[in-house]
Structure 1
Amino acid sequence: MTRTIELTSSPSLAPVMAKAVATAQLRSGKALPQLDVVRRDIRVDAGHLAAYDQLTGFPLRNELPATYLHNLSFPLQVTLFADRSYPYPLMGSVHLSNRITQHRPVSLDEAVTLTVRTANARPHRRGALADVLSEARVGDELVWEGVSTYLYRGQKAEGTAQEQADSGDAVDGPGALWRLPGDLGRRFAAVSGDVNPIHMNPFAAKALGFPQTIAHGAWSMARMLGALENRLPEAFTYDVSFRKPVLIPSTVRFVARQDPTTGGFDIALRNHKKGTEHARGSITPLA
Protein backbone atom coordinates (compact mmCIF):
# COMPACT_ATOMS: atom_id res chain seq x y z
CA MET A 1 0.00 0.00 0.00
CA THR A 2 1.27 3.47 -0.89
CA ARG A 3 2.00 5.78 2.01
CA THR A 4 1.60 9.56 1.56
CA ILE A 5 3.45 12.46 3.15
CA GLU A 6 1.40 15.65 2.82
CA LEU A 7 3.27 18.96 2.90
CA THR A 8 1.34 22.17 3.53
CA SER A 9 4.29 24.42 2.65
CA SER A 10 7.76 24.13 1.19
CA PRO A 11 10.08 22.78 3.90
CA SER A 12 13.34 24.45 4.88
CA LEU A 13 15.83 22.15 3.21
CA ALA A 14 18.82 22.60 5.53
CA PRO A 15 17.25 20.59 8.42
CA VAL A 16 15.69 18.07 6.02
CA MET A 17 19.07 17.45 4.38
CA ALA A 18 20.68 17.20 7.81
CA LYS A 19 18.13 14.56 8.77
CA ALA A 20 18.85 12.61 5.59
CA VAL A 21 22.58 12.67 6.34
CA ALA A 22 22.14 11.82 10.04
CA THR A 23 20.04 8.73 9.25
CA ALA A 24 22.34 7.43 6.51
CA GLN A 25 23.44 4.47 8.65
CA LEU A 26 19.82 3.38 9.02
CA ARG A 27 19.26 2.95 5.30
CA SER A 28 18.10 -0.57 4.53
CA GLY A 29 19.47 -0.97 1.02
CA LYS A 30 16.25 -2.84 0.19
CA ALA A 31 13.44 -2.03 -2.24
CA LEU A 32 12.31 1.48 -3.02
CA PRO A 33 9.37 2.53 -0.85
CA GLN A 34 5.79 2.95 -2.03
CA LEU A 35 5.72 6.54 -0.88
CA ASP A 36 4.19 9.70 -2.34
CA VAL A 37 5.20 13.17 -1.20
CA VAL A 38 2.45 15.64 -2.07
CA ARG A 39 2.00 19.39 -1.83
CA ARG A 40 -1.41 20.62 -2.94
CA ASP A 41 -2.73 23.89 -4.34
CA ILE A 42 0.59 25.69 -4.57
CA ARG A 43 0.33 29.38 -5.36
CA VAL A 44 3.53 30.71 -6.87
CA ASP A 45 5.03 33.83 -5.34
CA ALA A 46 5.66 36.33 -8.13
CA GLY A 47 8.74 37.77 -6.40
CA HIS A 48 10.31 34.33 -6.01
CA LEU A 49 9.61 33.55 -9.66
CA ALA A 50 11.17 36.87 -10.71
CA ALA A 51 14.36 36.07 -8.75
CA TYR A 52 14.51 32.63 -10.39
CA ASP A 53 13.97 34.09 -13.86
CA GLN A 54 16.72 36.67 -13.34
CA LEU A 55 19.27 33.98 -12.43
CA THR A 56 18.32 31.57 -15.21
CA GLY A 57 17.75 33.87 -18.16
CA PHE A 58 13.99 33.55 -18.49
CA PRO A 59 12.01 36.72 -19.20
CA LEU A 60 9.38 37.86 -16.73
CA ARG A 61 6.13 36.38 -18.00
CA ASN A 62 2.79 35.17 -16.74
CA GLU A 63 3.84 31.56 -17.44
CA LEU A 64 6.09 29.34 -15.34
CA PRO A 65 9.31 28.08 -16.95
CA ALA A 66 9.25 24.29 -17.24
CA THR A 67 12.33 24.08 -15.03
CA TYR A 68 10.68 26.21 -12.35
CA LEU A 69 8.28 23.36 -11.66
CA HIS A 70 11.33 21.14 -11.14
CA ASN A 71 12.56 23.80 -8.73
CA LEU A 72 9.28 23.56 -6.79
CA SER A 73 9.45 19.77 -6.73
CA PHE A 74 13.01 19.59 -5.36
CA PRO A 75 12.03 20.10 -1.68
CA LEU A 76 9.58 17.21 -2.08
CA GLN A 77 12.39 15.07 -3.49
CA VAL A 78 14.60 15.83 -0.48
CA THR A 79 11.69 15.01 1.85
CA LEU A 80 11.50 11.63 0.11
CA PHE A 81 15.26 11.08 0.52
CA ALA A 82 15.06 11.95 4.23
CA ASP A 83 12.36 9.36 4.94
CA ARG A 84 13.86 6.31 6.63
CA SER A 85 12.15 3.98 4.17
CA TYR A 86 14.29 5.35 1.34
CA PRO A 87 17.10 2.80 0.93
CA TYR A 88 19.96 4.97 -0.34
CA PRO A 89 21.98 7.66 1.48
CA LEU A 90 21.87 11.25 0.29
CA MET A 91 25.60 11.85 0.80
CA GLY A 92 27.58 10.60 -2.17
CA SER A 93 24.62 10.64 -4.53
CA VAL A 94 25.11 12.12 -8.00
CA HIS A 95 22.37 13.78 -10.05
CA LEU A 96 22.97 12.30 -13.53
CA SER A 97 20.11 13.45 -15.71
CA ASN A 98 16.66 14.97 -16.02
CA ARG A 99 13.74 14.58 -18.35
CA ILE A 100 11.03 17.25 -18.23
CA THR A 101 7.80 17.08 -20.21
CA GLN A 102 5.65 20.18 -20.43
CA HIS A 103 2.20 19.23 -21.69
CA ARG A 104 1.07 22.84 -21.70
CA PRO A 105 2.27 26.12 -20.19
CA VAL A 106 1.21 26.76 -16.59
CA SER A 107 0.07 30.29 -15.72
CA LEU A 108 1.32 32.15 -12.67
CA ASP A 109 -2.22 32.41 -11.29
CA GLU A 110 -2.99 28.67 -11.48
CA ALA A 111 -2.88 26.50 -8.35
CA VAL A 112 -0.61 23.50 -8.86
CA THR A 113 -0.48 20.19 -7.00
CA LEU A 114 2.89 18.42 -7.01
CA THR A 115 3.47 14.72 -6.34
CA VAL A 116 6.87 13.02 -6.07
CA ARG A 117 7.62 9.29 -5.87
CA THR A 118 10.50 6.97 -6.73
CA ALA A 119 10.82 4.00 -9.07
CA ASN A 120 13.10 1.86 -11.20
CA ALA A 121 16.06 0.98 -8.96
CA ARG A 122 18.67 -0.73 -11.10
CA PRO A 123 22.35 -1.61 -10.94
CA HIS A 124 25.12 0.56 -12.36
CA ARG A 125 28.79 -0.23 -12.74
CA ARG A 126 29.52 2.30 -9.97
CA GLY A 127 26.57 1.55 -7.70
CA ALA A 128 22.80 1.83 -8.03
CA LEU A 129 20.50 4.08 -10.05
CA ALA A 130 17.01 5.24 -9.11
CA ASP A 131 14.51 7.59 -10.71
CA VAL A 132 12.52 10.23 -8.87
CA LEU A 133 9.23 10.87 -10.65
CA SER A 134 7.48 14.22 -10.28
CA GLU A 135 4.18 15.41 -11.69
CA ALA A 136 2.24 18.66 -11.62
CA ARG A 137 -1.50 18.88 -11.98
CA VAL A 138 -3.91 21.77 -12.26
CA GLY A 139 -7.11 20.28 -10.93
CA ASP A 140 -7.18 16.80 -12.46
CA GLU A 141 -5.16 17.83 -15.54
CA LEU A 142 -1.60 16.55 -15.85
CA VAL A 143 0.36 19.58 -17.09
CA TRP A 144 3.99 18.67 -16.36
CA GLU A 145 6.16 15.64 -15.58
CA GLY A 146 9.77 15.21 -14.49
CA VAL A 147 12.18 12.29 -14.13
CA SER A 148 15.38 12.88 -12.15
CA THR A 149 17.93 10.05 -12.24
CA TYR A 150 20.38 9.68 -9.34
CA LEU A 151 23.45 7.49 -8.96
CA TYR A 152 24.18 6.13 -5.49
CA ARG A 153 27.83 5.21 -5.53
CA GLY A 154 28.78 1.96 -3.86
CA GLN A 155 25.14 0.92 -3.32
CA LYS A 156 23.40 -2.15 -4.69
CA ALA A 157 20.27 -2.93 -6.68
CA GLU A 158 18.95 -6.19 -8.08
CA GLY A 159 19.71 -7.10 -11.67
CA THR A 160 22.64 -6.82 -14.06
CA ALA A 161 24.25 -3.49 -14.89
CA GLN A 162 23.76 -2.50 -18.52
CA GLU A 163 26.72 -1.58 -20.68
CA GLN A 164 26.75 2.12 -21.46
CA ALA A 165 26.49 2.87 -25.16
CA ASP A 166 28.88 5.39 -26.67
CA SER A 167 26.79 8.53 -26.99
CA GLY A 168 29.37 10.39 -29.09
CA ASP A 169 30.20 14.04 -28.72
CA ALA A 170 27.67 16.76 -28.02
CA VAL A 171 27.07 19.65 -30.39
CA ASP A 172 29.92 22.12 -30.62
CA GLY A 173 30.79 25.33 -32.40
CA PRO A 174 30.26 29.05 -31.83
CA GLY A 175 27.85 29.96 -29.10
CA ALA A 176 26.87 32.36 -26.35
CA LEU A 177 29.50 33.05 -23.67
CA TRP A 178 28.31 33.22 -20.07
CA ARG A 179 30.65 34.52 -17.37
CA LEU A 180 29.62 32.91 -14.11
CA PRO A 181 30.34 34.83 -10.89
CA GLY A 182 31.75 33.21 -7.79
CA ASP A 183 28.55 33.81 -5.82
CA LEU A 184 26.30 32.02 -8.35
CA GLY A 185 25.97 28.98 -6.08
CA ARG A 186 24.85 31.05 -3.10
CA ARG A 187 22.40 33.03 -5.21
CA PHE A 188 20.83 29.93 -6.77
CA ALA A 189 20.67 28.23 -3.36
CA ALA A 190 18.54 31.15 -2.19
CA VAL A 191 15.89 30.50 -4.86
CA SER A 192 16.16 26.69 -5.05
CA GLY A 193 16.66 25.80 -1.40
CA ASP A 194 19.52 23.47 -2.39
CA VAL A 195 22.06 24.46 0.25
CA ASN A 196 24.58 21.70 -0.47
CA PRO A 197 27.87 23.35 0.62
CA ILE A 198 29.74 22.22 -2.52
CA HIS A 199 27.85 25.01 -4.30
CA MET A 200 28.62 27.72 -1.74
CA ASN A 201 31.72 26.95 0.29
CA PRO A 202 35.12 26.37 -1.41
CA PHE A 203 36.47 24.50 1.62
CA ALA A 204 33.54 22.08 1.59
CA ALA A 205 33.93 21.65 -2.17
CA LYS A 206 37.63 20.84 -1.78
CA ALA A 207 36.89 18.39 1.03
CA LEU A 208 34.67 16.49 -1.38
CA GLY A 209 37.20 16.45 -4.21
CA PHE A 210 36.39 19.59 -6.20
CA PRO A 211 39.03 22.28 -6.78
CA GLN A 212 36.48 25.02 -6.06
CA THR A 213 32.74 25.50 -5.71
CA ILE A 214 30.53 24.12 -8.47
CA ALA A 215 27.30 25.38 -10.01
CA HIS A 216 24.04 23.57 -9.37
CA GLY A 217 23.09 21.17 -12.14
CA ALA A 218 19.56 22.55 -11.86
CA TRP A 219 20.94 26.00 -12.68
CA SER A 220 22.72 24.71 -15.81
CA MET A 221 19.56 22.87 -16.88
CA ALA A 222 17.44 25.99 -16.44
CA ARG A 223 19.92 28.44 -17.96
CA MET A 224 20.21 26.40 -21.16
CA LEU A 225 16.44 26.22 -21.55
CA GLY A 226 16.08 29.90 -20.72
CA ALA A 227 18.43 30.79 -23.58
CA LEU A 228 15.89 29.33 -26.03
CA GLU A 229 12.71 30.38 -24.23
CA ASN A 230 11.35 32.52 -27.08
CA ARG A 231 11.79 29.63 -29.54
CA LEU A 232 10.17 26.85 -27.51
CA PRO A 233 6.86 25.21 -28.48
CA GLU A 234 4.02 25.13 -25.96
CA ALA A 235 4.45 21.37 -25.40
CA PHE A 236 7.84 19.66 -25.41
CA THR A 237 10.18 17.18 -23.75
CA TYR A 238 13.52 18.41 -22.46
CA ASP A 239 16.26 15.85 -21.81
CA VAL A 240 19.50 16.90 -20.15
CA SER A 241 22.44 14.92 -18.78
CA PHE A 242 25.24 16.26 -16.63
CA ARG A 243 28.82 15.32 -17.58
CA LYS A 244 31.40 17.40 -15.69
CA PRO A 245 30.78 19.96 -12.93
CA VAL A 246 30.79 23.65 -13.80
CA LEU A 247 33.39 25.34 -11.61
CA ILE A 248 32.56 28.83 -10.38
CA PRO A 249 33.73 31.37 -11.19
CA SER A 250 34.32 30.41 -14.82
CA THR A 251 33.25 31.18 -18.38
CA VAL A 252 31.10 28.69 -20.27
CA ARG A 253 29.86 28.48 -23.85
CA PHE A 254 26.29 27.55 -24.73
CA VAL A 255 25.80 25.88 -28.11
CA ALA A 256 22.44 25.13 -29.75
CA ARG A 257 21.63 23.51 -33.09
CA GLN A 258 18.06 23.34 -34.40
CA ASP A 259 16.68 20.51 -36.52
CA PRO A 260 14.85 22.24 -39.39
CA THR A 261 12.58 19.22 -39.88
CA THR A 262 11.29 18.71 -36.35
CA GLY A 263 11.97 22.15 -34.87
CA GLY A 264 13.76 20.51 -31.96
CA PHE A 265 17.19 21.43 -30.59
CA ASP A 266 20.40 19.72 -29.59
CA ILE A 267 22.26 21.78 -27.01
CA ALA A 268 25.43 21.69 -24.94
CA LEU A 269 27.20 23.65 -22.25
CA ARG A 270 31.00 23.69 -22.53
CA ASN A 271 33.97 25.24 -20.81
CA HIS A 272 34.98 28.21 -22.95
CA LYS A 273 38.76 27.64 -22.86
CA LYS A 274 39.06 23.85 -22.83
CA GLY A 275 35.86 22.88 -24.62
CA THR A 276 35.04 20.45 -21.80
CA GLU A 277 31.47 19.21 -22.01
CA HIS A 278 29.56 20.10 -18.85
CA ALA A 279 26.04 19.20 -19.94
CA ARG A 280 24.17 18.18 -23.04
CA GLY A 281 20.50 18.13 -23.87
CA SER A 282 17.74 17.92 -26.42
CA ILE A 283 14.38 19.62 -26.78
CA THR A 284 11.72 17.69 -28.66
CA PRO A 285 8.37 19.27 -29.59
CA LEU A 286 5.29 17.19 -28.71
CA ALA A 287 2.69 16.63 -31.38
Structure 2
Amino acid sequence: MTRTIEVTSNPNLAPVFAKAVATSRLKSGKALPVLDVVRRDIQVDPSHLAAYNQVSGFPLRNEVPSTYLHNLSFPLQVTLFADRSYPYPLTGSVHLSNRITQHRPVLLGEPVTITVSTANARPHRRGAMVDVLGEARVGEELVWEGVSTYLYRGQKAPGEVEEPAEESDAVDGTGSIWRLSGDLGRRFAGVSGDVNPIHMNPFAAKALGFPTTIAHGAWSMARMLAALENRLPSAYTYEVSFRKPVLIPSTVRFVARQDASSGDWELALRNNKKGTEHARGRITAGSGG
Protein backbone atom coordinates (compact mmCIF):
# COMPACT_ATOMS: atom_id res chain seq x y z
CA MET A 1 0.00 0.00 0.00
CA THR A 2 1.04 3.56 -0.65
CA ARG A 3 1.98 5.53 2.45
CA THR A 4 1.10 9.22 2.33
CA ILE A 5 2.69 12.16 4.12
CA GLU A 6 0.30 15.12 4.24
CA VAL A 7 1.92 18.56 4.28
CA THR A 8 -0.59 21.16 5.43
CA SER A 9 1.47 24.31 4.85
CA ASN A 10 4.65 25.33 3.08
CA PRO A 11 7.41 23.84 5.27
CA ASN A 12 10.41 25.78 6.49
CA LEU A 13 13.07 23.98 4.48
CA ALA A 14 16.06 24.76 6.70
CA PRO A 15 15.11 22.16 9.38
CA VAL A 16 13.88 19.73 6.69
CA PHE A 17 17.24 19.98 4.93
CA ALA A 18 18.96 19.46 8.28
CA LYS A 19 16.86 16.33 8.89
CA ALA A 20 17.64 15.03 5.39
CA VAL A 21 21.37 15.48 5.98
CA ALA A 22 21.14 13.95 9.46
CA THR A 23 19.39 10.84 8.14
CA SER A 24 21.87 10.44 5.26
CA ARG A 25 24.06 8.12 7.33
CA LEU A 26 21.05 5.86 7.97
CA LYS A 27 20.31 5.30 4.29
CA SER A 28 20.60 1.69 3.21
CA GLY A 29 20.29 1.65 -0.57
CA LYS A 30 17.17 -0.53 -0.41
CA ALA A 31 14.23 -0.23 -2.80
CA LEU A 32 12.39 3.05 -3.26
CA PRO A 33 9.47 3.43 -0.85
CA VAL A 34 5.87 3.43 -2.03
CA LEU A 35 5.41 6.91 -0.63
CA ASP A 36 3.50 10.02 -1.68
CA VAL A 37 3.98 13.48 -0.23
CA VAL A 38 0.90 15.63 -0.77
CA ARG A 39 -0.07 19.23 -0.17
CA ARG A 40 -3.73 19.90 -0.93
CA ASP A 41 -5.62 22.96 -2.14
CA ILE A 42 -2.66 25.32 -2.27
CA GLN A 43 -3.67 28.94 -2.74
CA VAL A 44 -0.84 30.71 -4.54
CA ASP A 45 0.21 33.84 -2.66
CA PRO A 46 0.19 36.70 -5.23
CA SER A 47 2.99 38.57 -3.44
CA HIS A 48 5.21 35.48 -3.34
CA LEU A 49 4.48 34.75 -6.98
CA ALA A 50 5.37 38.36 -7.85
CA ALA A 51 8.70 38.01 -6.03
CA TYR A 52 9.41 34.73 -7.85
CA ASN A 53 8.52 36.29 -11.19
CA GLN A 54 10.82 39.22 -10.55
CA VAL A 55 13.84 37.03 -9.77
CA SER A 56 13.11 34.61 -12.62
CA GLY A 57 12.17 37.10 -15.34
CA PHE A 58 8.47 36.33 -15.78
CA PRO A 59 5.98 39.17 -16.30
CA LEU A 60 3.19 39.77 -13.81
CA ARG A 61 0.03 38.14 -15.13
CA ASN A 62 -2.90 36.00 -14.05
CA GLU A 63 -1.23 32.72 -15.07
CA VAL A 64 1.11 30.76 -12.82
CA PRO A 65 4.39 29.86 -14.62
CA SER A 66 4.87 26.11 -15.00
CA THR A 67 8.23 26.38 -13.24
CA TYR A 68 6.51 27.96 -10.24
CA LEU A 69 4.55 24.73 -9.83
CA HIS A 70 7.90 22.94 -9.73
CA ASN A 71 8.87 25.50 -7.09
CA LEU A 72 5.83 24.46 -5.05
CA SER A 73 6.73 20.78 -5.44
CA PHE A 74 10.33 21.21 -4.27
CA PRO A 75 9.58 21.35 -0.50
CA LEU A 76 7.61 18.12 -0.92
CA GLN A 77 10.63 16.54 -2.61
CA VAL A 78 12.87 17.48 0.30
CA THR A 79 10.28 16.16 2.75
CA LEU A 80 10.39 12.84 0.90
CA PHE A 81 14.21 12.80 0.89
CA ALA A 82 14.21 13.36 4.66
CA ASP A 83 11.98 10.36 5.32
CA ARG A 84 13.90 7.41 6.75
CA SER A 85 12.40 5.05 4.18
CA TYR A 86 14.04 6.92 1.31
CA PRO A 87 17.18 4.91 0.51
CA TYR A 88 19.54 7.53 -0.90
CA PRO A 89 21.39 10.31 0.99
CA LEU A 90 20.82 13.95 0.19
CA THR A 91 24.51 14.66 0.76
CA GLY A 92 26.37 14.31 -2.53
CA SER A 93 23.25 14.28 -4.71
CA VAL A 94 23.26 16.10 -8.06
CA HIS A 95 20.22 17.50 -9.87
CA LEU A 96 20.67 16.33 -13.48
CA SER A 97 17.53 17.30 -15.39
CA ASN A 98 13.86 18.24 -15.41
CA ARG A 99 10.91 17.60 -17.63
CA ILE A 100 7.79 19.71 -17.15
CA THR A 101 4.50 19.12 -18.95
CA GLN A 102 1.90 21.88 -18.78
CA HIS A 103 -1.49 20.52 -19.85
CA ARG A 104 -3.04 23.93 -19.43
CA PRO A 105 -2.11 27.12 -17.57
CA VAL A 106 -3.06 27.37 -13.90
CA LEU A 107 -4.77 30.65 -13.12
CA LEU A 108 -4.02 32.68 -10.04
CA GLY A 109 -6.72 31.89 -7.51
CA GLU A 110 -7.23 28.26 -8.54
CA PRO A 111 -6.50 25.87 -5.63
CA VAL A 112 -3.83 23.35 -6.62
CA THR A 113 -3.06 19.97 -5.07
CA ILE A 114 0.50 18.75 -5.61
CA THR A 115 1.69 15.17 -5.12
CA VAL A 116 5.30 13.97 -5.21
CA SER A 117 6.60 10.39 -5.43
CA THR A 118 9.66 8.54 -6.76
CA ALA A 119 10.28 5.90 -9.41
CA ASN A 120 12.82 4.30 -11.72
CA ALA A 121 15.93 3.84 -9.57
CA ARG A 122 18.62 2.78 -12.01
CA PRO A 123 22.40 2.55 -12.17
CA HIS A 124 24.63 5.28 -13.53
CA ARG A 125 28.35 5.08 -14.19
CA ARG A 126 28.87 7.41 -11.22
CA GLY A 127 26.19 6.04 -8.89
CA ALA A 128 22.42 5.71 -8.95
CA MET A 129 19.72 7.81 -10.61
CA VAL A 130 16.15 8.34 -9.41
CA ASP A 131 13.19 10.15 -10.96
CA VAL A 132 11.12 12.30 -8.62
CA LEU A 133 7.61 12.57 -10.05
CA GLY A 134 5.25 15.45 -9.43
CA GLU A 135 1.73 16.20 -10.49
CA ALA A 136 -0.59 19.13 -9.94
CA ARG A 137 -4.37 18.95 -10.06
CA VAL A 138 -7.13 21.53 -9.93
CA GLY A 139 -9.95 19.49 -8.51
CA GLU A 140 -9.66 16.18 -10.35
CA GLU A 141 -8.10 17.76 -13.46
CA LEU A 142 -4.44 16.98 -14.11
CA VAL A 143 -2.93 20.31 -15.18
CA TRP A 144 0.82 19.80 -14.71
CA GLU A 145 3.40 17.01 -14.45
CA GLY A 146 7.08 17.13 -13.58
CA VAL A 147 10.02 14.74 -13.53
CA SER A 148 13.19 15.75 -11.66
CA THR A 149 16.12 13.35 -12.14
CA TYR A 150 18.77 13.14 -9.42
CA LEU A 151 22.14 11.38 -9.35
CA TYR A 152 23.34 9.91 -6.05
CA ARG A 153 27.08 9.62 -6.42
CA GLY A 154 28.66 6.40 -5.20
CA GLN A 155 25.29 4.73 -4.54
CA LYS A 156 23.93 1.54 -6.10
CA ALA A 157 20.75 0.59 -7.94
CA PRO A 158 19.73 -2.67 -9.65
CA GLY A 159 20.20 -3.16 -13.37
CA GLU A 160 22.82 -2.55 -16.00
CA VAL A 161 24.40 0.82 -16.68
CA GLU A 162 23.16 2.18 -20.00
CA GLU A 163 25.67 3.80 -22.29
CA PRO A 164 24.82 7.49 -22.76
CA ALA A 165 23.34 8.31 -26.15
CA GLU A 166 25.37 10.48 -28.47
CA GLU A 167 24.23 14.08 -28.41
CA SER A 168 24.56 16.83 -30.95
CA ASP A 169 25.97 20.15 -29.89
CA ALA A 170 23.57 22.53 -28.20
CA VAL A 171 22.49 25.59 -30.13
CA ASP A 172 24.97 28.45 -30.20
CA GLY A 173 25.33 31.88 -31.68
CA THR A 174 24.10 35.32 -30.81
CA GLY A 175 21.55 35.63 -28.06
CA SER A 176 20.48 37.54 -24.98
CA ILE A 177 23.21 38.58 -22.55
CA TRP A 178 22.37 38.26 -18.86
CA ARG A 179 24.64 39.70 -16.17
CA LEU A 180 24.10 37.77 -12.97
CA SER A 181 24.72 39.54 -9.69
CA GLY A 182 26.51 37.98 -6.77
CA ASP A 183 23.34 37.94 -4.65
CA LEU A 184 21.32 35.90 -7.18
CA GLY A 185 21.63 32.74 -5.08
CA ARG A 186 20.33 34.45 -1.96
CA ARG A 187 17.47 36.11 -3.85
CA PHE A 188 16.33 32.87 -5.49
CA ALA A 189 16.69 31.00 -2.20
CA GLY A 190 14.29 33.55 -0.74
CA VAL A 191 11.54 32.64 -3.22
CA SER A 192 12.30 28.93 -3.69
CA GLY A 193 13.14 27.84 -0.15
CA ASP A 194 16.24 26.05 -1.47
CA VAL A 195 18.72 27.21 1.16
CA ASN A 196 21.59 24.94 0.14
CA PRO A 197 24.63 27.03 1.16
CA ILE A 198 26.48 26.38 -2.12
CA HIS A 199 24.10 28.95 -3.62
CA MET A 200 24.59 31.57 -0.93
CA ASN A 201 27.90 31.15 0.87
CA PRO A 202 31.19 31.22 -1.07
CA PHE A 203 33.03 29.41 1.73
CA ALA A 204 30.52 26.55 1.68
CA ALA A 205 30.76 26.44 -2.11
CA LYS A 206 34.57 26.25 -1.97
CA ALA A 207 34.38 23.46 0.60
CA LEU A 208 32.47 21.43 -2.00
CA GLY A 209 34.88 22.18 -4.83
CA PHE A 210 33.36 25.26 -6.45
CA PRO A 211 35.42 28.45 -6.80
CA THR A 212 32.45 30.53 -5.64
CA THR A 213 28.69 30.29 -5.20
CA ILE A 214 26.62 28.77 -8.00
CA ALA A 215 23.16 29.60 -9.31
CA HIS A 216 20.27 27.27 -8.63
CA GLY A 217 19.51 24.95 -11.53
CA ALA A 218 15.83 25.76 -10.95
CA TRP A 219 16.63 29.43 -11.56
CA SER A 220 18.34 28.64 -14.89
CA MET A 221 15.35 26.48 -15.88
CA ALA A 222 12.89 29.24 -15.00
CA ARG A 223 14.87 32.09 -16.54
CA MET A 224 15.22 30.31 -19.89
CA LEU A 225 11.50 29.60 -20.01
CA ALA A 226 10.64 33.17 -19.01
CA ALA A 227 12.62 34.48 -21.99
CA LEU A 228 10.13 32.74 -24.32
CA GLU A 229 7.04 33.00 -22.15
CA ASN A 230 5.02 35.15 -24.57
CA ARG A 231 5.72 32.81 -27.53
CA LEU A 232 4.59 29.53 -26.02
CA PRO A 233 1.33 27.64 -26.54
CA SER A 234 -0.96 26.92 -23.61
CA ALA A 235 0.13 23.25 -23.53
CA TYR A 236 3.76 22.22 -23.92
CA THR A 237 6.54 19.99 -22.63
CA TYR A 238 9.77 21.60 -21.44
CA GLU A 239 12.91 19.51 -20.98
CA VAL A 240 16.12 20.89 -19.52
CA SER A 241 19.40 19.25 -18.50
CA PHE A 242 22.10 20.85 -16.41
CA ARG A 243 25.73 20.61 -17.58
CA LYS A 244 28.19 22.91 -15.81
CA PRO A 245 27.26 25.08 -12.81
CA VAL A 246 26.67 28.78 -13.36
CA LEU A 247 29.13 30.68 -11.15
CA ILE A 248 27.84 33.90 -9.64
CA PRO A 249 28.53 36.63 -10.34
CA SER A 250 29.02 35.97 -14.06
CA THR A 251 27.74 36.89 -17.51
CA VAL A 252 25.81 34.28 -19.49
CA ARG A 253 24.33 34.11 -22.98
CA PHE A 254 20.91 32.64 -23.69
CA VAL A 255 20.45 31.19 -27.18
CA ALA A 256 17.09 30.02 -28.56
CA ARG A 257 16.29 28.65 -32.01
CA GLN A 258 12.84 27.66 -33.28
CA ASP A 259 12.33 24.97 -35.90
CA ALA A 260 10.26 26.53 -38.67
CA SER A 261 8.37 23.33 -39.51
CA SER A 262 7.63 21.85 -36.08
CA GLY A 263 7.63 25.03 -33.99
CA ASP A 264 9.83 23.32 -31.38
CA TRP A 265 12.44 25.37 -29.53
CA GLU A 266 16.06 24.41 -28.81
CA LEU A 267 17.66 26.37 -25.96
CA ALA A 268 21.09 26.77 -24.43
CA LEU A 269 22.57 28.78 -21.59
CA ARG A 270 26.27 29.44 -22.05
CA ASN A 271 29.08 31.36 -20.43
CA ASN A 272 29.24 34.48 -22.56
CA LYS A 273 33.02 34.65 -22.81
CA LYS A 274 34.10 31.00 -23.00
CA GLY A 275 30.96 29.53 -24.55
CA THR A 276 30.80 26.84 -21.86
CA GLU A 277 27.43 25.09 -21.88
CA HIS A 278 25.62 25.46 -18.56
CA ALA A 279 22.22 24.07 -19.54
CA ARG A 280 20.32 23.00 -22.62
CA GLY A 281 16.60 22.72 -23.16
CA ARG A 282 13.86 21.79 -25.56
CA ILE A 283 10.23 22.94 -25.72
CA THR A 284 7.68 21.00 -27.75
CA ALA A 285 4.07 22.02 -28.31
CA GLY A 286 1.33 19.87 -26.81
CA SER A 287 1.19 17.82 -23.62
CA GLY A 288 1.18 14.30 -24.93
CA GLY A 289 4.98 13.84 -25.00
Q: TM-score range by the shorter chain?
A: over 0.9
Distance 1:148 1:255 in 2: 23
Structure 2: which amino acid aligns with 1:271? Answer: N
Query: 2:89 maps to what in 1?
Result: 89
Query: 1:42 maps to what in 2?
Result: 42
Distance 1:109 1:99 in 2: 25
Shift of residue 165 of structure 1?
Answer: 1.4
Structure 2: which amino acid aligns with 1:196? Answer: N
Query: 1:257 maps to what in 2?
Result: 257
Percent of counterpart pairs with the same letter? Answer: 80
Shift of residue 46 of structure 1?
Answer: 0.3
Residue aligned with 1:79, SS: helix
Distance 2:121 2:25 in 1: 19
Distance 1:239 1:114 in 2: 20
RMSD of Structure 2 on Structure 1 (CA): 0.6
Distance 2:155 2:66 in 1: 32
Distance 1:224 1:65 in 2: 12
1:181-215 deviations in whole A, cap 9, x for unaligned? Answer: 00000000000000000000000000000000000
Query: 1:136 maps to what in 2?
Result: 136
The alignment status of 1:227 with 2:227, answered yes or no, reads yes
Structure 1: which amino acid aligns with 2:140? Answer: D
Query: 2:75 maps to what in 1?
Result: 75
Distance 1:29 1:185 in 2: 31
Shift of residue 168 of structure 1?
Answer: 2.1
Under a length normalisation based on structure 2, what TM-score does the superposition of the two structures give?
Answer: 0.99
Unpaired runs of at least 5, structure 1 = none
Structure 2: which amino acid aligns with 1:203? Answer: F
Query: 1:102 maps to what in 2?
Result: 102
Shift of residue 260 of structure 1?
Answer: 1.1
Q: Which 4+ runs in 1 deviate beyond 4 A?
A: none
Query: 1:286 maps to what in 2?
Result: 286
Distance 2:93 2:142 in 1: 29
Residue aligned with 1:122, SS: strand
The alignment status of 1:182 with 2:196, answered yes or no, reads no
Distance 1:201 1:92 in 2: 17
Length, aligned pairs only: 287
Unpaired runs of at least 5, structure 2 = none
1:68-120 deviations in whole A, cap 9, x for unaligned? Answer: 00000000000000000000000100000000000000000100000000000
Shift of residue 264 of structure 1?
Answer: 1.4
Residue aligned with 1:152, SS: strand
1:19-72 deviations in whole A, cap 9, x for unaligned? Answer: 010111111210000000000000000000000001111100000001000000
Which moves more between the two structures, 274-283 or 23-32? 23-32
Structure 2: which amino acid aligns with 1:40? Answer: R
1:109-149 deviations in whole A, cap 9, x for unaligned? Answer: 10000000000000000000000000000000000000000
Distance 1:142 1:262 in 2: 26
Residue aligned with 1:23, SS: helix
Superposition map of 1:1-287 within 5 A: 1-286=1-286
Under a length normalisation based on structure 1, what TM-score does the superposition of the two structures give?
Answer: 0.99
